[in-house]
Amino acid sequence: MQDQWLDEEAGPIVPAYALTRGRVRPSSQEIDLVAIVTAIGGPTPVSLGPEQWMILSLCARPASLADIAAAIDLPLGVVRVLVGDLHEQGLVQVRPPANVARFPTPGILTEVISGLRAL
């Protein structure tokens, strides 16, 4: 009888703010959406919540923050805080995304346009 209230439409049993103890940002650094998170081998504390255990198991192989959030079906902000906690405990490594090519300088654009006109 009680199972009829615990379906997917009911939503999560534990509200998202409870998972992060009311925090909306990681306490140390802001983690980019496409930052690569990798679990660091070693002893893990028993005090981790089930969501943090899921994150650690997913990060046995490098994964982006967005991929982790999608895989464990939690809001990105919550995953950002949980990964930040794991990072502070030394359980995961967070690498910023690879640098994307910078915009060319106006001088380079002028040279390209001049070269195209010369064709």
> What is the residue type of 28?
S
CB atoms within 10 A of CB 34: 13
CA 8 from chain centre, in angstroms, equals 24
Which tokens hold the place of 97? 């995304």
Determine the Cα–Cα distance for residues 88 and 18; give it in Å rounded to an integer. 19
Phi then psi dihedrals of residue 34, to 5 deg? -105, 20
32 Rama class: left (phi>0) / alpha (psi -120 to 50) / beta? beta
Could you tell me the pTM of the whole model? 0.63
Determine the Cα–Cα distance for residues 24 and 64; give it in Å rounded to an integer. 19
Tokens 């028993």 sit at which residue? Answer: 46
What is the tens place of the pLDDT at every residue in 56-94? Answer: 999 999 999 999 999 988 888 888 888 888 888 889 999
Determine the Cα–Cα distance for residues 23 and 20; give it in Å rounded to an integer. 5
Which tokens hold the place of 83? 């990964």
Residue 53 has pLDDT above 70, yes or no: yes
Q: In this predicted structure, which of 19-23, 31-35, 47-51, 91-95 has the lowest mean pLDDT?
A: 19-23
